[in-house]
Amino acid sequence: MIQAEAIVYEFSRPKVERGDFSAFLEQFAFDRLPTGRRLRVMMNSMVFCIHGWDDDSREIHCIPEIRAFYRDFHEAWPYWLYFCSLDVDTLRAMVLCCLRSFTALSEDGNPNVKVEYDPLELIEFLKRDFAPMNAVCERAGVFENLIEARTNGILQYFGLLTGEPKQP
């Protein structure tokens, strides 16, 4: 499948603090999305960033303003599973912001933070999001085998499926 160039969308700190994603929705609300091939190539193309907490040592899922922003953004635009790139960790971080609870563990001298969460909560989150993903797939005219490959890729991305995703 031909893929569009990456779409990197950055939200500024003031917009995050205000919960303002209206400019994004003006461009990417469901009813404004293209149809057919133009939409098909947008699968796996978006990367979301938040700017303004660069000097904050906390992980983004530990910052209350970012957690609240991503929960509200997801409520308004639940199409993450279709659009977000599985080639980077941003979708994982965004979803983690939407989960009710998690535990972050760090070790002295290790810059990486290990995050643990309830896998059933993650599964429920993803399960709810497959319907909006499928709505976009329908609008784009995505064939069933590609939907299955994307679903398997998502499950693998979150560590819920082992092995290689099926190739279309």
For 147-168, write each residue's pLDDT tens digit: 999 999 999 999 987 755 444 3
Residue 1, in any domain of the structure? no
Residue 101, in any domain of the structure? yes
Residue 164, in any domain of the structure? no
Q: Which domain holds residue 70?
A: 7-157
Residue 42, in any domain of the structure? yes
Domain count, the chain: 1
Q: Is the pLDDT of residue 144 over 70?
A: yes
The pLDDT of 94-105, averaged and rounded, is: 81
Gap between the Cα atoms of 32 and 93, Å rounded: 26
The pLDDT of 103-107, averaged and rounded, is: 61
Contact between 53 and 66 (Cβ < 8 Å): yes
Residue 124, in any domain of the structure? yes
Contact between 66 and 97 (Cβ < 8 Å): yes
Using CA of residue 119, residue 155, residue 86, residue 38, what is the dihedral sign? negative
What's the pTM? 0.86
